Structure 1
Amino acid sequence: MSYLGLTWDHPRGRHALEAAARQGGPVRWEVQPLEGFESAPIAENCARYDLVVLDHPHLGEALAADCLRPLDEIFSPDELRAIADRAIGPSMESYVMAGRVWALPLDAATQVMAWRPDLLEQAPVTWDEVATLSRRTGRVALSLAGPHAWLSFLSVCHAIRPDLDLREGDTSVPRAVAIRALTILADLAQRSPASVLGKNPIGILEHMSGGHDDVALCPLVYGYVNYAAPSRSVPLRFANAPRIAAGQPPGSILGGTGIAVSRRAQVDEALRAHLLWLLGPEAQQGFIPAHDGQPGTRAAWHDPAVNAACGNFFSDTAETLEAASIRPRHDGGIAYQTAASAAIRAGFAAGTDPANLADELEAMFQTLRHPIKEPQP
């Protein structure tokens, strides 16, 4: 039996999966752009595809639409436990909702710091150091396009309050934390180079590695191993996300992708075995990194051979991934992050007082949020 899958259009998202298909894998993969991956209605994708590569904020929407198969119907408890044990950070945990697993953590990522080693001697460590560098050089860029204004805001909030847990959508950022985070970002936004204002993370990293010297550092951007490859004309370095103070954990919002199975799929043993292989040590530490992918296992992120091929991208940022926070996943969360990002960009452009902007975000949260709906048995 053959299956139709949907992934996202970037070497990290497609090359390994397409290579697996060429070698006899049972899934034929189609692609969508990053913007579709971040915001396309999950129910529509599941109606057309047997497998969908998604990120965890879509789970609330997916459960409300009842369009995914819980993976305990496909894999044994021991198989799921083994995948969870190998996963780095909260990657597997991010796909557990309402007591069941809904996707397998194929790929791990979080917001980290990207910098140009030819323009900077070293990366800053704290947000104060980032601000100092911004004032001195004017070459510190923020990632604010699409949903990333909201995600950058949440990352700073988690640096301030590492214990903050917003995943279920039943609480919002405390006002004092929101004001402090917005104050930090608003200051940087004043000097963020206009050349990358409308670019998504891929666009920012392409810009930085494309010989444009107006951006020396992006303090929060989703890490892509592809831009650390020594073969690039201007390889980037990556470092842990900024901290509020030295010795405190970095604040970052988990990204990465999982493979989910739609309700329309009729899973056979060949597909089951293929998915277990993709999540297993052989593929995660060999096949996936060899095909431009970004593995999701702790062993791969600390593998010397994997790191040697990418300027230590994985080992230099693993601490941030281990400490990353799971973003809100409630039904309505995607709509809220879109609206909140637009409000943050508008507030920064208008010079809105951070306290007033924090109040606006809270009011939007109360209006737009929906409680998580349990799937029907």
Structure 2
Amino acid sequence: MIQITYRTLTPLTFLLILACGQDPVATAPDPAPPQTDQAPENTTPPQDDVAPPSEPESGSCAQTIANSFAPYSELVTAECGETYLHLHSPTGLPDPNPADPDERMMVGITRWILRVPAPYDYQWRIPLTPEWQYSITEASPKGPIAVAANGVPIFHYEARPDVATHIEHYDPGSDTVVQGELDHCGGHAGQGDDYHYHYAPICLLDRHDLTTPIAFGLDGAPVYFGTGGTNYYGNGKYNDVNHSPATPLDDCNSISDGNGGHKHYTTKEPPYLIGCHHGKVDPSLRIEPRPMRQQGATGPYGGRVGEASNTEVTNLILDSDGWYQLEHRAFTGSGTSGVRFRRTTEDCYDFDFREDISQPGVTESHCRSH
């Protein structure tokens, strides 16, 4: 397996790293030059005659890493294997402190399910060669269907875990995208106390090259950004961005790539990302963190865990001591309530539930079940 680590994201650095991983070739020592009174002739070719290093091969795994994942190397690392592209995201979270405060996780949600975006260590495997099928497979309503270029999982928009997801079964009442459950970047903390997207990862557009995939399905199919910017999603910054293909998209939100495969595009309308799969999906590639708090449990100061409560999430920050602080409008009356949480072991967290965010609240410890 070749490991590729990025620090300075230039083609030259990329190729030097690859070269460092090659085995040295043994050669015989050069014979000593004959003795002469004349100065040796300069045989070094002019700089213009030296061939420049080549770019990664078009369509290769190395090029995929350079194009799609390298810009987020502080969040996700990538390696090329023989069968899979291996992605490691130590937290499974986007940038916790982005430059634009409106792009912070959870901000803007108006129907909060009392879950928090706790870090989770993901080891993703994306097939390098999709196994294309003659018939489509419905996207799963439960668990991830794709991984964004920053290592964050992507789920289907359907909130119910046990229903058909073909677009003909669309029900806006269970569409997380239109029900106020997502932040300005298209994500939220789900039932596993994890963070994931249900919509185009719109906040990546600040630095993503839109000629490259913004995500990959678990079947290996690439997902390109087509449309997705609205006054809410992306805060109006990307409303006019349109990289949709001229060819109409099918029910899977995809078109043929001209080589027997398929590629998806994001849209402002359902199914938003991947409506169904043309490639075979191995269920073992799905990673679903276990929740830390019981579904339906009463919250320390109101609401029920896992069920939508009418409140607006106004902020989420990470401090220097490792505490995440999620703030929201109080369930009753005025003021700001919130939850503070910090990892204590690999699977366990301390929580501080504050009805008044400025005062200490109810402290609890919770662990992910196995």
Which has more helix, going by share of residues? 1
Larger radius of gyration: 2
Per the TM superposition, whether the score is higher than 0.5 is no
Which has more strand, going by share of residues? 2
TM-score (norm: length of structure 1): 0.25
